[in-house]
Amino acid sequence: MKIFFQTITSEILFFIHNKKYLILFLLPILYFLLITGIYSQKVIIKVPVISCDLSNSNTSRLLLRYLNLTRSINIKYSTTDYSDIKKYILARKVYAGLYIPKDFEQKLKKGQQADLLLFLDGTNILIANNISADAKQVITTISTGIKIKLLRKSGNIKNKANDLSMQITSDSRKLYNPYYNYLNYLIPGITLAVLQQFFMLFGVIASLQFINFKKINNLSEALIIYASKMFFYLAYSTIIFFTITLILFPLFGINITGNMLLNYLYFELFVTMVFLIGGFCATLMKDGVDAVKAILLISSPAFILSGYTWPISSMPFFIKPIAYLIPLTVFLEGFRNYAIKGLGFYYIRSSFIYVLIGSIILIFLFYLTAIHKFAKRKIC
């Protein structure tokens, strides 16, 4: 126990006396603030759009007015030159443009189909989808109103016109994130992906320190030192967890549900697993540079492969096994069910067991590679 507490004390003193390393402890919080700041608007609103209204009629002006009232569309520019639409999109002044032809209202009055052309900048799918959805809703509403008006003018009875507008009704209920808030959607997943990378790096640092420390004479002493270093970083992860979940998440309006204690235990298991992956990589590689390269190879594609933004079911069959080998994938699956959806432990039990068994296997693998590495060092 003496070695255990001495190592923790020396680890604390090391970071206090070496201010350049102390930044490593602050980086997860700084990353969180940076990423959250990017999505602080929560939803995409009032994206600049250009209109080319050659009709300049009552109906076209009504259409543009309604479009401007939607959440995502801000008709910032107007033009009478059709070619300006593409020019403005290329110049990144707007993300979309609406072209209304000259004969727009005349065709509507005759009961003919009137075509509109909506140009969308497809390089940003999120913005393009939002504008397209809002524009479609407005156009459908106005189109239905025009049909009813024409039916009444043609002598159809009022009830038939009303029946046309009410043939299909629908309602939708958005669960867990009703306003499609990007903070609630992306920040928890990105934050955990960043923390995975940091704790893998800490695992490498701790492992290299005990492997290369010449004063250690036997493996049992080395493992006690490593365990104490691991305890130190787990204590640090506890501070990070409660700082983010109890202070920063509420500060930015990010909703986390479920039992806090279970959330914490689940998170600590995840941190243990990724920390051991870092340590295992360090014992396998020749030096620290190769170990860091190995964890970057694992952690860099982790968020994309995790299924958090793109479902694993839609990935090619040969990628799916790779995705499930990365701890973040399974952890986020359980985290989303428990901490975001508020489901019970029953719904995360498989993820919990995966992380637990993964940690046990990694402890065993780390022990075997550490024995080999330590024996090799003594021979040398």
327-335 vs 349-379: helix crossing angle, rounded to 10: 150
pLDDT in tens, 244-283: 988 998 888 888 887 888 889 999 999 999 999 988 888 8
Mark whether 36 and 59 lie in a shared domain: no
Domain of residue 108: give its range: 47-165
pTM: 0.77
**What percentage of the chain reaches a pLDDT higher than 90?**
17
pLDDT in tens, 48-57: 999 999 988 8
Mark whether 234 and 329 lie in a shared domain: yes
Instruction: Between 245 and 144, name the one with better pLDDT.
Output: 245
pLDDT in tens, 226-242: 788 888 889 989 999 99
CA neighbours within 13 Å on the CB side: how many for 96?
Answer: 27
| Residue 147 binned pLDDT confidence (cut-offs 50, 70, 90) | confident
Q: 């390089």: which residue's tokens?
A: 123
Mark whether 33 and 112 lie in a shared domain: no
Residue 319 has pLDDT above 70, yes or no: yes
Give kind and range of the element (H or E) at residue 153. Answer: helix 125-153
**What percentage of the chain reaches a pLDDT higher than 70?**
84
Q: Is residue 102 part of a domain?
A: yes
Backbone angles phi, psi at 51, to 5 degrees: -115, 145
Q: What is the pLDDT at residue 167?
A: 47
Structurally, the chain folds into a number of domains equal to 2
CATH at 157: 3.40.1710
Query: Average pLDDT, stretch 68-91?
Result: 91
Query: Average pLDDT, stretch 191-206?
Result: 88
Alpha-carbon distance 307 to 209, whole Å? 35
Residue 183 has pLDDT above 90, yes or no: no
Ramachandran assignment for 377, one of left (phi > 0), alpha (psi -120 to 50 degrees), beta (any other):
alpha
Mark whether 236 and 345 lie in a shared domain: yes
Q: Which residues of 17-52 are buried (b: 16+ CB within 10 A; e: fewer)?
A: eeeeeeeeeeebeebbeebbeebeebebeebebbbb
